[in-house]
Amino acid sequence: MSEGRAGEMFFWGVLKRDLLLSFRRKSDLVNPLIFFLMVASLFPLGVSPEPTFLAEVAPGVIWVAALLATLLSLDGLFRSDFEDGTLEQTLLSPQPLFLVVLAKVFAHWMMTGLALTLLSPLLAVMLFLPAEGMWGLMASLLLGTPTLSLIGAIGAALTVGLRKGGVLISLLVLPLYIPVLIFGTGAAQAAITGLPIAGFLALLGAILVLGLVLAPFAIAAALRISASS
Amino acid sequence: MAEKKWMPRWFYQLASPRWCYDITGKLLPLFAWTAVLLLLGGTAWALAFAPADYQQGNSFRIIYIHVPSAILAQSCYMLMAIAGAVGLIWKMKVADMVAKCCAPIGASIAVLALATGAIWGKPTWGAWWVWDARLTSMLILLFLYFGVMALNSAIENKTTAAQSTAVLSLVGLVNIPIIKYSVEWWNTLHQPATFTLTEKPAMPVEMWMPLLIMVLGFYCFFAVAMMLRLRNEIVSRERRSGWVRDMIQTQFR
C-alpha cells in the first residue's frame, strides 16, 4: 500500500471514530446547538423585539452566538482522549500527528460549525434577517466556522492538561477569533444591502487556507507539550 | 581546524542564568541613566520647545508618549514570540524567562498606548474610543498579552508553561502585521504611521527629533524594566543553586 493511501485511510479512520464517539454521546452533539439557539433568542428579549432593529443586528448576533457555541464545545475536543490515554498512544504512534489533528478538527467542525451553519436560517428568520442576506450569512458561516474550529483546537490543545481549561480557552482563543468575526459579519451585512460579498468571502477563504496550513502544526506542538507534563 | 564562529561568545553565554545575571547587573545602571537622560531631555524638548501643530495646536504633543508606547508594545510582543521560539527550539532557560517577563511589561505599555490614544482622540476626533481598525487591533494585542499571562500562570510546571506560552505567542504573531498595516488596508480615522524606515518623516526636524529621542528613551526604559524582572526571575528560579546562595549570603550577612 502506498504511503499517501495509508495516510488517507488513517485520516478517514480517525474522522469516523470521532464522529461515532460523538453520536454515542448525544448531549455533546446537541448542547452547543441549543446554546446557539438560546443565546440568539436572548437578544430580542434583552435588547429590543423591534423587527427593523433585529434585522439590522441579526448577522452580528448570529455570528457571535456561533462563536460562543463553538467555544463551548472546544473543551471536549481532546479531553476524553487525554483522560483515557488515547492521546498518548496517538503521540507515540508512527503516523503523522498533523493528520490525526486535522481529522479531529474536521470531525469537530462537522458536529459544531456545519450544524450551526445549517441551523442558522432558522435563527435568521426568527431575527427578521432580510431574505437577501441569507446566502451571505450561510456562505460566511460555511467558510468561517472551520477556521474557528482550527484556531480553537490550538487553545484546546494548550489547555488539555489543565483541570480547569474552560474559561482559559475562551481567554486564549477569543482574541484570535476577532478577524473571522469581522469579515463574517461584513459579508452578511454586505449581502443585505446588496453590495458584492466576494471580497469578504475571499478574505475568509484566505484565513481558512492559512489556518489549514499552519494550525495543525501549532496544535500538534501544543499537544506534545501538554502531554509531556 | 578553526571553525568559523557565526555567533559571538557573549551571545551564547547569555544562555547561562548566572552569566546573564552578572551581565545585566553591569548593564543596568548604564541603561537606567540613558533612559532617564533620554526621557527627561525628550520630554522637555517635546513639551516646551517643539513647535505646535498647525492643525491640532498643542494637543498633538501627546504623540511623544503615544507613538513610542505603541511601537514598544508591538516590539515587546515580537521579542516575546522570538524568545519563546528560541526557548522552544534550543530549550534555553533564560529565553523562557525573557519571554515570561515580556508579557506584563508589554501589557502595561499597551494600556499606556491605548489610554494616551483615547486622551488624544477626545479633542481631535471628539470621541474617547472609535471602533477603528488600528485601535481594535491594538486592543486585541492587549487581550493576547492577557491570554499569555493567564496561560503562563495556569500551568504549574515551569517548562511546560514556557513552552505552551511560546506556542500561543507564536500563533498570536499574526496580529502584528494586522496592526502595522491596518491604517493602510482599511481607510480609517487613524492617521498613518509617523515613522517609516525608508522615507523621510513628513514633519519638520524640530518635531520628529524629540519623538525619535522619546522612542529611544522608551526602548531603554523597556530594557531596564526587562532586566529588573529578569534578574528577579533568575534569582527566584535558581534559588536552590549554589551561586545564588553564596551571593545572598555575602550580600545580607
Query: Under an 8 A CB cutoff, do B151 and A179 touch?
Result: no
What's the one-letter identity of residue B225?
Answer: A
Q: Is the pLDDT of residue B1 over 60?
A: no
- Range A56-64 average pLDDT: 91
pLDDT: which is higher, A141 or B57: A141
Please enumerate in sequence order all residues whose Cβ is within 8 A of that of A117, keeping only pairs 6 or more positions apart, or say none. Answer: A138, A141, A142, A145
Nearest Cα residue to B83 out of B155, B163, B157: B163
- Chain B positions contacting chain A at CB under 8 Å are 88, 136, 140, 143-144, 146-147, 150-151, 154-155, 157, 159-160, 163-164, 167-168, 170-172, 174-175, 178
Q: Is the pLDDT of residue A107 over 60?
A: yes
Residues of B in contact with A159 (CB under 8 A): 151, 154
Q: How many residues does chain B have?
A: 253
Confidence of residue B70 (pLDDT cuts 50, 70, 90): very high
Q: How confident is the model at residue A7, as a pLDDT?
A: 79
Query: Under an 8 A CB cutoff, do B155 and A229 touch?
Result: yes
Residues of B in contact with A172 (CB under 8 A): 147, 150-151, 168
Confidence of residue B198 (pLDDT cuts 50, 70, 90): low
**φ/ψ (deg, to 5) at A223:** -65, -45
Confidence of residue B199 (pLDDT cuts 50, 70, 90): low
Please enumerate in sequence order all residues whose Cβ is within 8 A of that of A123, keeping only pairs 6 or more positions apart, or say none. Answer: A36, A37, A40, A58, A62, A65
Per-residue CA distances from B3 to B7, B15, B50, B242 (Å): 11, 21, 53, 34
Burial class of residue B83 (count of CB atoms within 10 Å of its CB; 0-12, 13-18, 19+): buried
Q: How large a percentage of chain A has pLDDT more than 70? A: 99
Query: Under an 8 A CB cutoff, do A179 and B178 touch?
Result: yes
Q: Which residue has the cell 545585566?
A: B24
Q: Is the pLDDT of residue B53 over 80?
A: no
Q: How confident is the model at residue B3, as a pLDDT?
A: 57
Residues of A in contact with B151 (CB under 8 A): 158-159, 168, 171-172
- Range B131-159 average pLDDT: 89
Q: How confident is the model at residue B73, as a pLDDT?
A: 94
Which cell numbers hold the place of A195?
A: 453590495
Q: How confident is the model at residue B19, as a pLDDT?
A: 87
Contact A82, A161 (CB under 8 A): yes
> What mean pLDDT value characterizes chain B?
86
The pTM of the full predicted model, rounded to 2 decimals, is 0.88
Nearest C-alpha in A relative to B89: A221
Give pLDDT tens digits for A164-206. 777 889 889 999 998 899 899 989 889 888 888 899 999 999 9
Q: How confident is the model at residue B196, as a pLDDT?
A: 65
Confidence of residue B247 (pLDDT cuts 50, 70, 90): confident
Contact A144, B119 (CB under 8 A): no
- Range B196-218 average pLDDT: 80
Q: Which of B88, B154, B171 sits opposite A168 (nearest CB)?
A: B154
Query: Under an 8 A CB cutoff, do A225 and B144 touch?
Result: no
Q: How far is A1 from chain B (nearest CA, A)?
A: 35
Q: Is the pLDDT of residue B192 over 80?
A: no
- Range B212-228 average pLDDT: 95
Buried b (16+ CB within 10 A) or exposed e, A40-70: beebbeeeeeeeeebbbbbbebbbbbbbbbb
Q: Which of A158, A174, A175 sits opposite B167 (nearest CB)?
A: A158
Query: Under an 8 A CB cutoff, do B155 and A161 touch?
Result: yes
Nearest C-alpha in B relative to A211: B171
Residues of B in contact with A162 (CB under 8 A): 154-155
Q: What is the DSSP letter of B27?
A: H
Q: Which of A118-127, A140-149, B147-156, B240-249 has the lowest mean pLDDT?
A: B240-249
Give pLDDT tens digits for A17-50. 989 988 888 887 888 899 999 998 898 888 888 8
Instruction: Mark out the alpha helices in A47-165 (DSSP H runs).
Output: 51-74, 76-83, 86-92, 97-111, 113-126, 133-159
What's the one-letter identity of residue A217?
Answer: F
Give pLDDT tens digits for A2-12. 667 777 888 89
Q: Which of A158, A163, A223 is best to mutate for the B interface (most B CBs within 10 A)?
A: A158
Contact B106, B76 (CB under 8 A): yes
Query: Under an 8 A CB cutoff, do B147 and A178 touch?
Result: no
- Chain A positions contacting chain B at CB under 8 Å are 151, 154, 158-159, 161-162, 164, 168, 171-172, 174-176, 178-179, 210, 218, 221-222, 225-226, 228-229
Nearest C-alpha in B relative to A165: B154
Query: Under an 8 A CB cutoff, do A225 and B154 touch?
Result: no
C-alpha A121/C-alpha A115 separation (Å) is: 11
Please enumerate in sequence order all residues whose Cβ is within 8 A of that of A200, keeping only pairs 6 or more positions apart, or say none. Answer: A140, A183, A184, A186, A187, A190
Q: Which of A175, A218, A225 sits opposite B143 (nearest CB)?
A: A175
Residues of B in contact with A158 (CB under 8 A): 151, 164, 167-168
Nearest C-alpha in B relative to A161: B155
> What mean pLDDT value characterizes chain A?
89
Residues of B in contact with A225 (CB under 8 A): 160, 163-164, 167
Q: Which of A5-19, A108-122, A208-222 has the lowest mean pLDDT?
A: A5-19
Reported ipTM: 0.85
Q: How confident is the model at residue B188, as a pLDDT?
A: 64
Nearest Cα residue to B161 out of B99, B81, B77: B99
Residues of B in contact with A176 (CB under 8 A): 144, 171-172, 174-175
Q: How large a percentage of chain B has pLDDT more than 90? A: 46
Contact A120, A28 (CB under 8 A): no
Residues of B in contact with A203 (CB under 8 A): none
Q: How confident is the model at residue B31, as a pLDDT?
A: 95
Query: Under an 8 A CB cutoff, do B150 and A172 touch?
Result: yes
* Cα three-residue angle B154-A31-A38, rounded to 5 degrees: 100
Q: Which of A171, A181, A200 is best to mutate for the B interface (most B CBs within 10 A)?
A: A171
